[in-house]
């Protein structure tokens, strides 16, 4: 976008009294998600004005996504969270209209979803919204195969597995969970919403045995912000589709618009074709600029982290613990948020850690971030 278009777009927000921000926090929905690809937005503007049969579009778009992912079947959901709702609905009600009609009332049905305690997360509300009862196994330190074996019974609908940064330690590996669950004919549903890129993850969880996997379309794929990619076994995707909009069942309140469906297919196709090394080199250069510019701040511990597991993109990580005698991480984060323009850093990892995630940051913005960080860290010294 040229500068004029950007300021017009900013004005639309300012007219509402909303202040545009710099999001150095990654694909956080609360801070805007990600920058939708311009080619996708352009196509959406056109396809929004052409009428089609949505059932047909859902099926055909799903076939194309399955081809791009390399899965048996796929569909577009309303965000990854809407995909979690459909995972649960598909495993609990299948495509039996009598059961589908009753959701989220699940008394007497297979309605238990087993989760390792370390995998409980705020988004599992979407499973409960479909009527699932979460059955926890293990504790915050350990999860054992015999605990999973022991929890499976005639009411088990699925085993849910979370793939997210900083969750891989202290859990049973996905392949092992799949092996145990499958021995009892129980499907394994995976939430990998934020795990793209790396592109290898499109295949990875399916290869480990997952029956259904959800990815967000509005995060690293940079598709329409409100979309998700649900992929996996054909019979389960069929059931998910049966429960989804436009049918008037539990998924109807998680509708996806036709232009979003087409837009996601295009975004995913562009994402798959992209040169990941070149993409990472760009993010690395942005993060490195932050590290190089602030390394001289006395006592500051700052480094570039990128391992494709916990740090999916190259990030500049500031650690304000130990010998650091300047302002706390909270004080620095607050100073940046309260300035003009407001800057949001990633603060999730540890109380004394701040991260600059380059996903949503432009070259101009990275210089603003560096200047404001230096001011906040050194108190303008
Ligand atoms: C972001 C996220 C979601 C929700 O994804 P949306 O596409 O925003 O609905 C669900 N689960 C996890 C682990 C996430 O990181």
Give the whole-number percent of the chain exceeding pLDDT 70: 98
pLDDT band at 381 (very low <50, low <70, confident <90, very high): very low
Ligand 1 atom 8, closest CA: 79
Ligand 1 near 191 CB (within 6 A): yes
Full set of structural domains in the chain with CATH: 3-33+275-378 (3.90.1150.180), 38-273 (3.40.640.10)
Ligand 1 near 123 CB (within 6 A): yes
27 alpha carbon – ligand 1 mean position (Å): 9
Query: Which numbered atom of ligand 1 lies nearest the CA of 216?
Result: 7
Query: Which numbered atom of ligand 1 lies nearest the CA of 227?
Result: 7
Q: Mean pLDDT in the chain?
A: 95
- CA-CA distance, 306 to 28, in Å (whole number)? 18
81 alpha carbon – ligand 1 mean position (Å): 6
- Whole-number pLDDT of residue 323: 84
CB burial of residue 231 (10 Å; 0-12, 13-18, 19+): buried
Instruction: Render pLDDT for 293-326 as a digit per residue (tens, 0 to 9).
Output: 999 999 899 999 999 899 999 999 999 988 899 9
> Can you read off the two tokens belonging to residue 100?
């589908």
- Residue to mutate, 84, 166, 193, 222, ligand 1, most ligand atoms under 8 Å from C-beta: 193
Ligand 1 near 224 CB (within 6 A): no
- CA-CA distance, 231 to 65, in Å (whole number)? 8
Ligand 1 atom 5, closest CA: 80
217 alpha carbon – ligand 1 mean position (Å): 9
pLDDT band at 180 (very low <50, low <70, confident <90, very high): very high
User: Which residues, 6 or more positions from 198, have their beta carbon under 8 angstroms from its beta carbon?
Assistant: 276, 308, 312
178 alpha carbon – ligand 1 mean position (Å): 22
199 alpha carbon – ligand 1 mean position (Å): 17
The H or E element containing residue 366 is helix 363-378
Instruction: Render pLDDT for 243-275 as a digit per residue (tens, 0 to 9).
Output: 999 999 999 999 999 999 999 999 999 999 999
CA 9, 10, 11, 13 torsion: positive or negative?
A: positive
pLDDT band at 121 (very low <50, low <70, confident <90, very high): very high
């Amino acid at each position: 976008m040229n500068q004029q278009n950007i300021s017009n777009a900013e004005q639309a927000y300012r007219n509402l009294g909303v202040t545009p921000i710099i999001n150095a926090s990654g694909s956080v929905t609360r801070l805007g998600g990600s920058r939708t690809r311009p080619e996708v937005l352009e196509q959406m503007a056109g396809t929004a004005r052409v009428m089609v049969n949505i059932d047909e579009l859902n099926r055909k778009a799903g076939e194309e996504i399955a081809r791009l992912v390399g899965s048996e079947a796929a569909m577009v959901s309303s965000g990854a969270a809407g995909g979690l709702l459909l995972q649960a609905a598909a495993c609990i009600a299948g495509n039996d209209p009598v059961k589908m009609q009753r959701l989220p009332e699940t008394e007497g049905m297979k309605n238990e979803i087993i989760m390792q305690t370390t995998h409980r997360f705020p988004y599992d509300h979407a499973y409960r919204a479909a009527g699932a009862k979460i059955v926890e196994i293990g504790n915050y330190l350990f999860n054992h195969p015999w605990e999973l074996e022991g929890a499976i019974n005639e009411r088990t609908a699925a085993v849910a597995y979370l793939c997210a940064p900083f969750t891989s330690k202290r859990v049973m590996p996905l392949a092992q969970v799949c092996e145990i669950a499958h021995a009892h004919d129980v499907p394994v549903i995976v939430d990998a919403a934020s795990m793209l890129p790396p592109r290898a993850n499109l295949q990875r969880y399916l290869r480990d045995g997952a029956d259904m996997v959800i990815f967000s379309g509005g995060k690293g794929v940079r598709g329409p912000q409100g979309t998700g990619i649900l992929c996996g076994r054909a019979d389960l995707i069929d059931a998910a589709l049966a429960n989804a909009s436009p049918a008037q069942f539990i998924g109807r309140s998680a509708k996806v618009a036709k232009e979003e469906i087409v837009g996601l297919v295009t975004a995913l196709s562009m994402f798959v074709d992209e040169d990941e090394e070149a993409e990472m080199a760009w993010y690395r250069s942005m993060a490195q600029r932050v590290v190089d510019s602030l390394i001289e701040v006395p006592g500051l511990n700052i480094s570039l982290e990128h391992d494709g597991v916990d740090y999916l993109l190259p990030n500049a990580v500031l650690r304000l613990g130990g010998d650091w005698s300047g302002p706390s991480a909270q004080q620095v984060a607050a100073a940046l948020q309260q300035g003009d323009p407001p800057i949001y850093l990633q603060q999730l990892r540890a109380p004394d850690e701040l991260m600059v995630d380059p996903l949503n940051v432009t070259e101009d913005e990275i210089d603003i971030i560096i200047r404001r960080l230096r001011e906040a860290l050194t108190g303008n010294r």
